[in-house]
Amino acid sequence: MGKATQIAAIFAFGVVATIATVAVQAAEDAPASSFVTLKLEGSCDAQNTRLWLVNSHTFKTIATTVRWRAAGGKDLSEQFFPGPNSVREIGCAAEAEILDAKFSDF
């Protein structure tokens, strides 16, 4: 391998390492709410859909408070602790929203 090739390889490795560090820092600086989402997918009945809580963070658990309501039902609110890269079914709902999301301390 020539000297120029070695220098180019070292430079490329440095660039990749820098980009990886910036990506990890950005993930740590982003608010917890940017990693949790709700999705309504799959039918429960004619008026309600299955409600899922998704945590897309790669290494943190997020304490998430969710409010949801089934058609004709009362409002329900509960705190969940989805682990990293997880999808958790909450139940059946006509509508839902995330009220609060914070990184867990454990």
Specify the number of domains making up the chain.
Answer: 2
CA-nearest of 100, 45, 104 to 78 is 100
Together in a domain, 39 and 14: no
Least confident of 23-27, 29-33, 48-52, 65-69: 23-27
- What is the four-CA torsion angle of 5, 11, 17, 23, rounded to 10 degrees? -120
Q: Are 22 and 49 part of one and the same domain? A: no
Confidence of residue 97 (pLDDT cuts 50, 70, 90): very high
**Same structural domain for residues 44 and 23?**
no
- 78 and 95 assigned to the same domain: yes
Do 60 and 71 fall into the same domain?
A: yes
Q: How confident is the model at residue 7 (pLDDT cuts 50, 70, 90)?
A: confident
In terms of residue numbers, what domain contains 89?
32-103
Residue range 43-75, pLDDT digits in tens? 999 999 999 999 999 999 999 999 999 999 999
pLDDT at 76 over 60: yes
**Does 82 lie in the same domain as 50?**
yes
Q: State whether 48 and 81 are in the same domain.
A: yes
Which amino acid is located at 61 in the chain? T
Q: Model-level pTM? A: 0.73
